[in-house]
């Protein structure tokens, strides 16, 4: 067979082979992690939450599940919001406007 | 089969005649795939790691809110919940925990009082040393924290605290590296030491952890608690997954938005394919047709060219993305999505991606790339050879 054809076929086979190897590696690592879950749960029972210890700079980042909502600025005046929200998806302004209008109408009726 | 292999050989030859363009296409595709796949792999892994120990979380956590911020629960709050008993509540446990700023680290550590009702931790949970004994002024801390503080088993440590009465604690064990993701910055000690460190009076608690005999009744029980203790915040276990999905999903969204330039580069590559063939390629197709190639053969050759480039680029891109996140710790990317900290666990993340998802990503890249290459090839292949050769 032509060397170029062999090279071409090898490149075409490279993709599924890579995918299968990565999937196998992921599977091995997942199975290994599965055996560690009882240990993880035993330690987690002593902790306030199972939030990941990845951001210890402020309490709302260390344990986001337990901290008060809307307190991102409370630990330092004029600090930038470290975890900004709402930038990509805007709030449902039309719904709010409609609600406000309905509220006004109801108020006037009363 | 032989015909297809011959066309494949010709396609590889054609790519080799334009090495610069072929390499640029494959490399651009690989980089874009690597960046996008790394963000997706990392987000999935973080979400799963955060959710993995969810069984250990109490069904409900009750917090008192004063002036919009969390305040400590009082003994009277506990009595209000205990008498009369709420149906389905099997245990109410006041917890003493909080954060302590350690100037030496310029960061917060999490101080936790270890409930003595829990069984002693074994060697799987504690790497080095043993579990703590109540009343002995001992502590167990995260491996990363011990490393950052430069303490070893047997060392006594006087932690800064609002009360001078806080005793120095002896380090008797460090948590296993397997739990570093949740316990890297944790100091576990007995309740009296934790209260002394945090300045928490004995009749107060940080929050109340509630265990239910029937977790399905969480919503009803939380309504009862809210009516008995107005103004409290009740965190339900079921909502945790949503918190993690929101937190990491939002960050990965921001990261993907920041990588828009790379995606634009990918679109430019696709546009290059779609915008038509250059005069040299048109001439090449015309010669092929003149020597007897059918239109179908020309199309197959062009499709195979695109397929070879797309397969090589996607395979290298996915390999780069995967190895970046799971073999090399997502250097540079991890702080952007996972968060940053003075005490940062370097534990490897666990991949959640499987073969189906990988094939779906690969198909999502290869299929449009190949499809875009067919249109201009078909346009050129249907040209009159003489006209194409004249340019």
Range of lowest pLDDT (B48-62, B68-82, B251-265, B270-284): B270-284
Query: What does DSSP assign to residue B340?
Result: -
Which of the four pLDDT bands, split at 50, 70 and 90, describes residue A69? low
**B87 phi/psi in degrees, rounded to 5:** -60, 140
CA atoms within 13 A on the CB side of B345: 29
ipTM of the complex: 0.78
Q: Taking 80 as the threshold, does the pLDDT of residue B255 lie above it?
A: no
- Per the prediction, chain B carries an average pLDDT of 83
Element (H, E) at B234: strand B232-236
Query: What does DSSP assign to residue B201?
Result: -
B65-90 pLDDT tens trace: 888 778 899 988 888 888 888 888 88
CA distance A10 to A25: 21
Which of the four pLDDT bands, split at 50, 70 and 90, describes residue A88? very low
Quote the pLDDT of residue B130.
Answer: 86
CA distance B81 to B85: 7
A35-44 pLDDT tens trace: 888 888 888 8
Q: Taking 50 as the threshold, does the pLDDT of residue A109 lie above it?
A: no
Q: Which two tokens stand for residue A82?
A: 């470290």
Residue A11 touches partner B, C-beta closer than 8 Å: yes
CA distance A109 to chain B (A): 31
Which residue in B131, B110, B138, B94 sits closest to B198, CA to CA?
B110
- Best mutation target, A2, A8, A27, A81, to test chain B (most B CBs within 10 A): A8
| Chain-centroid distance, C-alpha A36 | 22
Span A66-82, average pLDDT: 53
Share of chain B above pLDDT 90, in %: 13
CB pairs under 8 A between A and B: 238
- CB–CB of B212/B194 below 8 Å? no
Distances (CA, A) of A56 to A27, B195, B339, B352: 31, 20, 9, 25
- CB–CB of B216/B236 below 8 Å? no
Interface touch A57/B340, C-beta < 8 Å: yes
Residues from chain B that touch A23, judged by Cβ atoms under 8 A, are 353-355, 358
Span A70-92, average pLDDT: 47
Nearest to A45 among B69, B118, B338 (CB): B118
Element (H, E) at B265: helix B260-274
- CB–CB of A54/B347 below 8 Å? no
Which chain B residue is nearest to residue A31, measuring alpha carbons? B350
Q: Taking 50 as the threshold, does the pLDDT of residue A3 lie above it?
A: yes
């Amino acid at each position: 067979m032509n060397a170029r054809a062999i090279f071409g076929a090898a490149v075409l086979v490279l993709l599924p082979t890579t995918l299968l190897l990565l999937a196998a590696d992921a599977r091995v690592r997942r199975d290994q992690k599965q055996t560690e879950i009882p240990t993880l749960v035993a330690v987690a029972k002593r902790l306030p939450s199972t939030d990941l210890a990845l951001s210890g700079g402020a309490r709302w980042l260390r344990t986001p599940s337990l901290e008060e909502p809307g307190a991102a600025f409370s630990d330092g005046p004029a600090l930038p919001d470290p975890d900004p929200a709402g930038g990509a998806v805007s709030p449902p302004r039309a719904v709010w406007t409609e609600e406000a209008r309905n509220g006004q109408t109801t108020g006037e009726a009363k | 089969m032989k015909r297809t292999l011959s066309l494949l050989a010709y396609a590889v030859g054609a790519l080799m005649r334009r090495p610069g363009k072929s390499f640029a296409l494959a490399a651009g595709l690989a980089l874009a795939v690597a960046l996008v796949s790394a963000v997706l792999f990392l987000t999935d892994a973080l979400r799963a790691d955060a959710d993995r120990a969810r069984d250990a979380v109490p069904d409900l956590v009750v917090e008192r809110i004063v002036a919009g911020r969390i305040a400590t629960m009082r003994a009277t709050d506990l009595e209000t919940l205990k008498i009369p008993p709420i149906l389905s509540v099997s245990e109410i446990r006041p917890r003493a925990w909080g954060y302590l700023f350690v100037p030496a680290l310029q960061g917060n550590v999490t101080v936790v009082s270890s409930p003595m009702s829990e069984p002693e931790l074994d060697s799987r949970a504690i790497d080095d040393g043993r579990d703590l004994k109540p009343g002995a002024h001992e502590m167990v801390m995260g491996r990363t924290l011990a490393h950052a503080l430069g303490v070893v088993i047997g060392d006594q440590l006087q932690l800064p605290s609002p009360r001078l009465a806080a005793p120095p604690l002896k380090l008797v064990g460090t948590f296993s590296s397997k739990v570093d993701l949740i316990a890297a910055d944790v100091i576990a000690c007995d309740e009296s030491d934790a209260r002394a460190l945090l300045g928490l009076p004995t009749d107060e608690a940080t929050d109340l952890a509630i265990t239910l005999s029937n977790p399905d009744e969480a919503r009803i029980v939380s309504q009862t608690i809210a009516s008995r203790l107005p103004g409290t915040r009740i965190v339900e276990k079921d909502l945790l997954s949503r918190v993690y999905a929101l937190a990491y999903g939002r960050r990965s969204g921001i990261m993907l938005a920041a990588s828009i330039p790379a995606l634009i580069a990918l679109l430019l590559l696709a546009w290059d394919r779609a915008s038509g063939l250059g005069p040299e390629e048109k001439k090449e197709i015309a010669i092929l047709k003149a020597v007897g190639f059918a239109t179908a053969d020309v199309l197959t050759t062009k499709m195979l060219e695109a397929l070879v480039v797309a397969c090589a680029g996607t395979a290298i891109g996915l390999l780069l993305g995967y190895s970046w996140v799971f073999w090399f710790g997502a250097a540079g990317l991890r702080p952007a999505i996972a968060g940053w900290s003075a005490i940062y666990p370097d534990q490897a993340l666990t991949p959640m991606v499987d073969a189906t998802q990988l094939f779906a990503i690969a198909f999502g890249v290869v299929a449009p790339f190949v499809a875009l290459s067919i249109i201009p090839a078909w346009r050129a292949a249907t040209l009159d050879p003489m006209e194409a050769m004249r340019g």
